[in-house]
Structure 1
Amino acid sequence: MLDVLTWVTGVAALLLAAWCGWSASRDEPTKDWHFIGMAVVTVLALAQLVVGIVQLARGEKPDQGTTIFVAYLLGALACVPVAGFMSLAERTRWGSVTVAAGGVVLAVLEVRLYDIWGG
């Protein structure tokens, strides 16, 4: 697994969480800029999924099993978009809180992916 991509995705997710948390503390809903940030983090997670699948196709194996690795990759990819859609339904500060929580969850998933791969 590309360790750099994993750490960049995790840090970007935490930055998104901090940004949306800041907006929530100021009683603001998610705005267009937040959705651009979510798109960037989602593209990083998509790149990670592609790299992970390519490495599996080349015969490399994660330490803790291929099935759980792929499941975590798919969960990491879905985490921020699902939080973004939920924030659209809740156009108050709680929408920002939802995205902040999604960013924290993605960061935790990144640490777990690193462990699963054998980091």
Structure 2
Amino acid sequence: MLDALTIATAVCALLLAAWCGVAFARHEPTKDWHFIGMAVVSLLAVAQLVVGVVQLARGQSPEQGTVLFVSYLLGAAACVPAAGFMSLAERTRWGSMTVLAGGVVLAVLQVRLYDIWGG
């Protein structure tokens, strides 16, 4: 795995979570700017998915198993978009909390992906 991409994705996910945490504290729903932030974080997660699949295709393998690694990659790529769609359904401050939780979950998944790969 590319360590720099993993770190960048985790840091951006935590920044998104903090940003949505501020919106939650102000009793605000997610706004268009939050969705732009979610798109950036989602693009990083999809880029990581592509890099992971390419490395698997080259013959490299994670220490803890390919199936586990691919499932975590797919979960990481789907985490923030799922939280974004749920925040659209909940147009109160709790929508912001949903995205906050999605960002934290994505950061934790990044740490786990690093461990699964063998870092």
Q: Same fold (TM over 0.5)?
A: yes
> Aligned residue for 1:5?
5
Shift of 1:25: 0.3
Q: How far, CA to CA, are the matches of 1:105 and 1:58 in structure 2?
A: 29
> Aligned residue for 1:118?
118
Q: How far, CA to CA, are the matches of 1:110 and 1:102 in structure 2?
A: 12
Shift of 1:19: 0.2
Counterpart check, 1:47 vs 2:47:
yes
Counterpart check, 1:28 vs 2:38:
no
Residues 1-119 of structure 1 mapped to structure 2, 5 A cutoff:
1-119=1-119
Shift of 1:21: 0.5
Which residue identity is paired with 2:109?
A: L
Q: Percent identity?
A: 79
CA RMSD of aligned residues (A): 0.3
Q: How far, CA to CA, are the matches of 1:22 and 1:111 in structure 2?
A: 24
- How many residues align structurally? 119
TM-score by structure 1 length? 1.00
TM-score by structure 2 length? 1.00
Q: How far, CA to CA, are the matches of 2:38 and 2:21 in structure 1?
A: 13
